[in-house]
Structure formats: structure tokens, C-alpha cells
A and B are shown apart, each in its own frame.
Chain A
Amino acid sequence: MSVLVNKNSKVIVQGFTGSEGSFHAQQMIEYGTNVVGGVTPGKGGSTHLDRPVFNTVAEAVEKAGADTSIIFVPPAFAADAILEAADAGIKVIITITEGIPVKDMIAVKAYLKGKDLTLIGPNCPGVITPGEAKVGIMPGFVFKPGRIGIVSKSGTLTYEAADQIVKAGLGISTAIGIGGDPIIGTPTKNAVEMLMNDPETDAIVMIGEIGGNYEAMAAEYIRSTGNRKPVVGFIAGQTAPKGRRMGHAGAIIGGADDTAEAKMRIMRENGIFVVDSPAEIGDTMVKALRGEAVNA
């Protein structure tokens, strides 16, 4: 089963012929992802990486049956690319682009509301279902198939968590990089919910960071499920100063509730096994699965 992407996903790359798009499309193809083509306006009819190039997403849907898109379009044009994919009927839109203006994303979010599709990102590493499909920029070899789901705001920290899970003798069902921007398509709670309802996921790693209230909302949801599956959590930025932006556009402490400390407390109160050190994610997951993890 897994979630969002699998071996049947028909993936197109928006920004296919650009340097980022080309490089990562090649990597995805080598991984075994079913990349059915790409979109670069004005280059339709040509071939790139042995795949057809289309002028529009609608054409890619019609001619190649695309249902999933990954976007590498530069920030100034990325909102337009997301809207084009949505308008063409793409069901899973994964936006890697970093640096999209907030005003553009406010409009995108409003347009997508109520539509039957999922936007992941922007400013994210993408989604991987190991052994089936990699629709993102993550190093595929780190993610071995298994039954642990990962939800994370950060790229390299996702790889770190996956690596620890694999080294602990476990594997990954699906890893979802939700992105580090102030406005993202799929908040932590929605991503956790997908994994909670996935029969092939036994437990979840949830990685957040300072800023916003997504982790608190997810924690309350997890409790509302009766903590059906164990969740191991980590929040990056315990040492981040207030009011300074730490790399990600969304990683800024605005009020008392979006500090790492507050989020960790809320997560613990809702039955999540929170680790203080990111080095303990793997070991804690093993304990959680054995019923030996301590919530403190």
C-alpha cells in the first residue's frame, strides 16, 4: 500500500530540462521511479532523458496519463506551476522549490482548498516509498523498505532519521518531507494521518522544528487516535534564539508556543516518545516497538 507514491505512480517533472530538474529526474529514473515525461513550456514534442517533453501539464496528463508531479521550477514561477498541475488534474503535487514568496503561497493554498489533490512542500525533499518510487531529491540508498513511516519538515534530518531506522534493523514504509516554509500544502497532522491509516506502517517518526503550531496539532490528532501506533518525535531548534530565522523561512520563534521546548512538552503530553537528541531516534524507535520506550 504505502502512501502518496508507489510503483504505479505516473510521475512528470515540471522544470524537466533545467539543471536541477534534469539531474534529479535522472536520479529518480535510475532509482526505478516511473517517470513518464516532463513539462517545459516551448520544448514540447522533444525528448529528454528518453522521455517525452510536453508544453503543458494538461498535455502530459492526456498523453502520458500523469497523476503525480514534481516541481523544480524557479521560485518566481513555482506558484504558477503548482496551479497548472492542479488545474490539469494531477493528484499528488510535490514542490521542491525553495524561496517562493509567501503572498504567492497564500493564493495557491486558497485555490487548492476543497480540491481532491495533495500538495507536498514547497521547500521540501519530496516523498519516497523505498523500493517503489522516489519522487524527490533524497539519496535513495539510505531508505530501505520496511514498516516505519517518517514525516519531517527538514531534508537532511529526514535522511538522518531514515539512516538510524535502517541501522537499527528496521525499514521505511514511506518518508514524507513536508517542507520548511511558513505555508505548506500538507501540514504535519495530515501527513501523520496518512501514515496512521496506512496498513503497511507500524510506527511513525515525526520530526519538527521551531515555528508555527503544526506539531501541536499533529500531537493532538495522535492522541485522538488512542495512540494507535507508536510515534517517536524530535524538534530541532532547542538552542535557537527568539526572533531569528534559522535557515528555513518558517523556522522562527514568534511566540511562547512555538519554541522547541513548548512543542516537545505538548508532544509528550499527547503520548509521543520525544527524544532530546537527534542521535537517539533509531534506538528509541526500537524500544517503542518493544513497548519499552519511556515517555519522559
Chain B
Amino acid sequence: MNIHEYQGKEILKRYGVRIQEGIVASTAEEAVEAAKRLTEETGTGWHVIKAQIHAGGRGKGGGVKLAKNLEQVKEIAGQIIGMNLVTHQTGPEGKNVHKVLVAQDVYYPGVSETKEFYVSILLDRATGQNVIMYSTEGGMDIEEVAEHTPDKIFKEYISPVVGLQGFQARKIAFNFGLEGEAFKEMVKFITALYKAYVETDSSMFEINPVLKTSDNKILAVDAKVDLDDNALYRHKDLADLRDITEEDPLEVEAGEHNLNYVKLDGNVGCMVNGAGLAMATMDIIKLSGGEPANFLDVGGGANAKTVEAGFRIILKDPNVKAILINIFGGIVRCDRVANGVVEAYKNIGNIEVPIIVRLQGTNAEEGARIIDESGLKVSSAVLLKDAAQKVKEVIESVNA
């Protein structure tokens, strides 16, 4: 589960990680109040106004701006709140900004130069342990650093048995080229950050940049925090941080019906049992000349109710020109699924797009017969290649 920057920073602070302080605001007026309070608390003169959306690249998209006085805070916050922010991660449709983080200016001049670093923590799947990935190239797109200067990315693997050790935190601080107070601060920063990662059951932390200020403090200027959905049951407070306005409304609705749905941009919808077969079905749609409109896994219990919920969600996407249902009945019997399809079809009424139902497994022929004799505008298939062929024909007729 993704959360906002301001929420991620609150978590980090709780574990003793120093952060760029800030206060969240939903209106320009609130932003001004937040700025006044922040000046009282931190002494900051200038303020950074940061759009809060679940996507990176906000700065380049115009979602992060510096305000040098309260008039500018009001003006900039007014511009950013309500704007449609488009970044390389939001897709061309962009995301609506509902909140801004009014943050302190941490790039103030002082006794030494400021310096930016990159630190992330994630799971290394190959070894089954956590890894701290870090680079001296802070503030840049890490994928570009990996491509052009891979020697500037370091990895520190953490033993699941003993956890992060002091020598490892020191090694990271040394590799950053730090000394004196900044070195000590970095060791503390890394240690607290890793503790936060483990204790919150996170699946990714990305702090970019980590800043060494001109007075040798180390702090998180940004925070991308991704929590392990499967562990939220033991973190009630973190589960409450979910912001459904950041999610696709159809995906939220699907979740309420225990359907696993991901909206895509194509023209052929699909409904499948099992995640692997669902992805494979999307691939078949593409190979047949269409583009998948969604990923939809109805799970183990494909019945009339789940099929109907699936239909309704797929049909809400106006781009859908055809639907492929692909069920491999094992424990679920195909005749029951077929009856479910017919029932759902009748309940919804006036479905105008062609539907192909491929049922294979237990009672597959019986299922196909039910579909064929239903009198509905639904065609059936048993073999996967027949289904692929039918999708192809349908797409050709739609495009014609």
C-alpha cells in the first residue's frame, strides 16, 4: 500500500529519523497558517510547497515550489491544490491534488556545503533478505544512475538473523564520504531508518534525497513508503493511512467484491480465475490483435455473484469493446460458472459488447452447451486456442 510523503515522514519521525519538517494543508488559507506555525517551530524563513499525490516526478511536473513569503505561500498553494498534476509516473491523465505539504526550507547556507544522497530499503528476492541500496547521486532518478553510472550504486545486505549491524551503518556513512558530526548523524539516520522499515512491515522505503545540511545534520527531504498489504492486519494505525482518492474508483469497487482488478488502457476486457492465467489471458488478447482493458482475477470461487460484479466493473470502462471470460474449472464446476454467466448477463440486461466465454476443466462441455443454448449474444470455447481465434474474429469485426 502506498502512502503520501507527509504520512511517510510522520512514520519516520516516530522512529527517530530526522526529517524535513512540514505541515499538511488542504486549502491556501490552511497553508498560510501552516507556514506561520512552521516558522515559529523551526525558524524557517522560506517554505517549500509540495503536492501530495502517490506518484514521483512531482517537481518536474510543477507540483513542488519554493515560497519566499506568506503571499507566495498562499498563491502557490492555491495553484497547486486542485491542479491536475501530470508526471512520468501518473500517466497522461495526471492526478488531482487534494493536499499540499508546507515544508521547511532545509537548503539554507551555513558552515559547509549541502550534499544530497540516495537511500532505499527493499527486499532482495534472490537472497530472501532486505538490502539497503544507496548512492552518492542523490536527488536524481535512480534508474538513470543505475543505467549510466552503476558503479555509484552500493548495496548492503542485512542478515535476517542478526539484523543491521553498526559496522554496516558506518560503512554506508564512510562510502558517502562523511566525517565528524555528519558521519555520526548518518549512522544514526541509517540505523533509525532500518528500524522503521522492519517494525512497520514495509516493502519499500525510498528516501531521495537524503540531505546533509550546511550545519551537518542528516535528514529525509522526501519519503516514499510502501507498506506490505499482507501485514496491515497487525498495524491498524498504518492501515488507516490508506487514501482511496488516490486509487482508481473501479479498482476500489472491485476490492469491495473481493475481486482483484487492475485497470489498463485497452479495448478488450477479461475475467479470469487465477492471477497467472489472468495475465496469460491478457497476453492472448494482445496476440490476437487487441489490447487488454484490465486484469481481473475472480479467485477460487467463480460464481454468479462474483461474475456479475466482474461484468459490472468491466462494463463501466467505456473503452471496452469485447469481453473474454476464461475460467479453468477445477474445484469450480464449469456448468455452474456457465449458469452464473447467463444469470449475470440477464440481471444486467442490454450488454452491447460481444462476449466470449471459454470454460475448461470439470464439466466443460456441459458449460459450453449452457452458453450456446442460452440464446444470448455469447459465444463459447473450450480450448484456449479456439478462444484466441474467437477474440481475433471479434476484434476484426469491431475494428472493421
Interface residues of A (CB under 8 A from B): 27, 75-76, 99-103, 105-107, 109-110, 137-139, 141-142, 152-160, 163-164, 167, 180, 182-183, 207, 209-214, 217, 234, 236-241, 243-251, 255, 260, 276-280
Contacts and interface: CB of A to CB of B under 8 A. Distances in A.
A163 B27 CA distance: 59
A183 B287 contact: no
B248 to A, nearest CB: 10
A238 B233 contact: no
Given A277-B284, A278-B280, A279-B384, A102 B231 contact: yes
B125 A100 contact: no
Interface stretch (B5-13, B166-174, B188-196, B271-279): B271-279
A176 B155 CA distance: 33
Question: DSSP class of B's interface residues: helix, strand, loop or mixed?
Answer: mixed
A159 B328 contact: yes
B388 A279 contact: yes
Interface string B64-105: 000000000000000000000000010000000000000000
Nearest 3 pairs of A and B residues by beta carbon: A154-B276, A247-B275, A156-B274
Contacts of A142: 330, 361
Q: Number of contact residues on B: which range applies? A: 35 or more
11 contacts: A102-B228, A110-B160, A139-B331, A142-B330, A154-B280, A183-B123, A212-B125, A239-B283, A241-B264, A255-B143, A276-B287
Contacts of B295: 240, 246-247
A239 B292 contact: yes
Contacts, number: 173
A248 B231 CA distance: 15
Nearest to B197: A103
A283 to B, nearest CB: 8
B361 A105 contact: no
Contacts of B203: 102
Interface stretch (B126-134, B305-313, B338-346): B126-134
A161 to B, nearest CB: 10
Contacts of B279: 209-210, 236-237, 239-240, 246-247, 251
A278 B262 contact: no
B285 interface: yes
A207 B360 CA distance: 19
Contact of B276 (A138, A156, A163): A156
Interface in B102-138: 123, 125-126, 128-130
A239 B286 contact: yes
Interface in B277-318: 277-280, 282-287, 291-292, 295, 297
Contacts of A110: 128-129, 159-161
Interface of B: 89, 123, 125-126, 128-130, 143, 146, 159-161, 198, 201, 203, 228-231, 233-234, 260, 262, 264, 266, 272-280, 282-287, 291-292, 295, 297, 328-331, 360-362, 383-385, 387-388
A262 B384 CA distance: 25
B361 A139 contact: yes
Contacts of A250: 125
A75 B128 contact: no
B383 A180 contact: no
A182 B387 CA distance: 31
Contacts of A137: 330-331
A163 B292 contact: no
A211 B130 CA distance: 16
A155 B291 CA distance: 24
Contacts of A141: 362
Residue with the greatest number of chain A CB neighbours at <10 A, chosen from B161, B286, B292, B330: B330
Contact of A180 (B161, B262, B272, B276): B276
A156 B328 contact: yes
A255 B142 CA distance: 11
Given A243-B89, A276-B283, 8 more contacts: A109-B128, A110-B129, A110-B160, A159-B330, A209-B276, A239-B282, A246-B295, A276-B287
Contact of B228 (A101, A237, A280): A101
A99 to B, nearest CB: 5
A213 B275 CA distance: 19
A279 B126 contact: no
A248 B229 CA distance: 12
Contacts of A244: 262
